[in-house]
Amino acid sequence: MQAPAVCGLPHAADRGMWTRPVHVDRCMRDFDETFDVVVVGAGQAGLSTARHLVRRGLVPGRDMAVLDAADGPGGAWRERWDTLTMARVNGIFALPGLDLPAPDPAARANVVLPDYFARFEQQFDLQVRRPVRVDAVHDATDGWLAIELADGQRLGTRGLVNATGTWTRPFWPTVPGAADFAGRQLHTHDWPGGAAFAGARVVVVGGGISALGHLDELAGVGATTCWVTRRPPRWRTREFTSEHGREVVARVDARVRAGLRPRSVVAETGLPLTERVRGLRAAGHLDRRPMFDLVTHDGVAWTDEADRVTDRFDADAIVWATGFRWALDHLAPLDLRTRHGGVRMDGTRVVADPRVHLVGYGPSASTVGANRAGRAAVTELLAHLQRTSSTTDAA
């Protein structure tokens, strides 16, 4: 990777205020606009990052830009289903510098949180640009990154913080026969709320918190359910302390440092055995079965080694609560993935390219993690940019 073609003003200390480098004109001509840092995605992780950039003295629209593909504020929260109330979310950490007032537990998360994010954006004048979808990020000449937008524009940046989450990439496993099922199939991404399945027979696939939430709602509307998971659920009986939280983060961190795919949060934390969950279990709504072998026209079936059907569950619907993948396709031209399918990380920094940070990825995939990651990414990225501009000056 070449050093960026910038000449700088005297540099502030790495952790102090940002000193704006002066870019050479040649770079400006290659792009519609140029920035020192571009943040892609304006959910919890992207907004936290943007706030820390502003705190360090970068000016939105001049030194930095925040791009978001959605039509309005809220990140993935604006897309979540109407029955996900504030009482049902797991605990949301406030964004840095703006309290999240205790919400009405019955209020919809897809209203409360987008409103709160909008206030945050306004208060710190983050000037989020939307709807702006990033299609691809390329390595351009002289150390610049070229950001291709869906509308054909091309932005140049010296540093990129990617905060695109997972919501846009629902994961559907491939199961034989799935295309022939006569009933309805949907993913958590499109969950319409339990009421849509009143009295129906529903298979819920997946061992995460979303699956538990769907089963809870289905129990409330008299649906007959069949809960299926690949591995037996791992229940967490002990309280989730900050020490436990640190252990989990350390385990996920070790995986991404090794370039492995981060595992799901539940794989690391276990499923919380709350009073509500205990009640569902006691009432027989959480009698988990192993993953079925095939989907039939009428439901799902389990087979023996000779492929003979040994058991079946006739269903009106299959709900795939099978999680999400990281929305990183637009970074593919940078070739950041290891052969293990992950991105090798050191903290929030991509080891293969120090101009690129991933926040909300791996160990920072929670609202608290995203907050911390935003701050860490800004500190390290700005230090890197000021170091590389001083190298260029000296040359």
Stretch that binds ligand FAD, among 23-31, 87-95, 215-223, 380-388 (CB under 6 A): 87-95
Rule CB under 6 A: is residue 83 a binding residue for ligand FAD?
A: no
Which of 4, 21, 46, 363 forms a contact with ligand FAD (CB under 6 A)?
A: 46
Question: How many residues belong to the site for ligand FAD (CB under 6 A)?
Answer: 33
Rule CB under 6 A: is residue 210 a binding residue for ligand FAD?
A: yes
Nearer of residues 6 and 38 to ligand FAD, judged by Cβ: 38
Hunting for tokens 């290659």 — which residue is that?
30
Which of 134, 248, 318, 321 forms a contact with ligand FAD (CB under 6 A)?
A: 134
User: Considering the complex, what minimum distance in angstroms separates the CB of residue 321 from ligand FAD?
Assistant: 9
With b meaning 16 or more CB within 10 Å and e meaning fewer, what string describes 196-213?
bbeebbbbbbbbbbbbbb
Six token digits for residue 339: 């052969």
Do residues 95 and 120 make contact, with C-beta atoms less than 8 angstroms apart?
yes
Strand partners, 124: none
Contacts with ligand FAD, 242-271, as mask; x by CB under 6 A: ------------------------------
Contacts with ligand FAD, 101-120, as mask; x by CB under 6 A: --------------------
Stretch that binds ligand FAD, among 158-166, 177-185, 276-284, 347-355 (CB under 6 A): 158-166
Nearer of residues 128 and 200 to ligand FAD, judged by Cβ: 128
Do residues 38 and 144 make contact, with C-beta atoms less than 8 angstroms apart?
no
**How far apart, in whole angstroms, are the C-alpha atoms of residue 292 and residue 313?**
9
Nearer of residues 301 and 356 to ligand FAD, judged by Cβ: 356
Six token digits for residue 145: 């990154």
Rule CB under 6 A: is residue 43 a binding residue for ligand FAD?
A: yes
Sign of the dihedral defined by the CA atoms of residues 147, 153, 155, 161, in that order: negative
Rule CB under 6 A: is residue 207 a binding residue for ligand FAD?
A: no
User: Considering the complex, what minimum distance in angstroms separates the CB of residue 12 from ligand FAD?
Assistant: 28
Neighbours of 24 (CB within 10 A): 14
Contacts with ligand FAD, 339-378, as mask; x by CB under 6 A: ---------------------x----xxx--x--------
Rule CB under 6 A: is residue 91 a binding residue for ligand FAD?
A: yes
Nearer of residues 90 and 310 to ligand FAD, judged by Cβ: 90
Rule CB under 6 A: is residue 168 a binding residue for ligand FAD?
A: yes
**How far apart, in whole angstroms, are the C-alpha atoms of residue 308 and residue 325?**
33
In total, the chain counts a number of residues equal to: 395
First to last CA, the chain: 16
User: Crossing angle of helices 109-123/44-55, nearest 10°?
Assistant: 10
**How far apart, in whole angstroms, are the C-alpha atoms of residue 155 and residue 145?**
8
Rule CB under 6 A: is residue 75 a binding residue for ligand FAD?
A: yes
Per-position DSSP letters for 41-80, written without gaps between them: --SHHHHHHHHHHHHTT--BTTTEEEE--SSSSSGGGGGS
Nearer of residues 25 and 243 to ligand FAD, judged by Cβ: 243
User: Considering the complex, what minimum distance in angstroms separates the CB of residue 216 from ligand FAD?
Assistant: 13
Hunting for tokens 């206030």 — which residue is that?
119
**How far apart, in whole angstroms, are the C-alpha atoms of residue 95 and residue 360?**
13
Q: Which residues bind ligand FAD (CB under 6 A)?
A: 40-46, 67-70, 75-76, 80, 89-92, 133-134, 163-165, 167-168, 210, 327, 330, 360, 365-367, 370
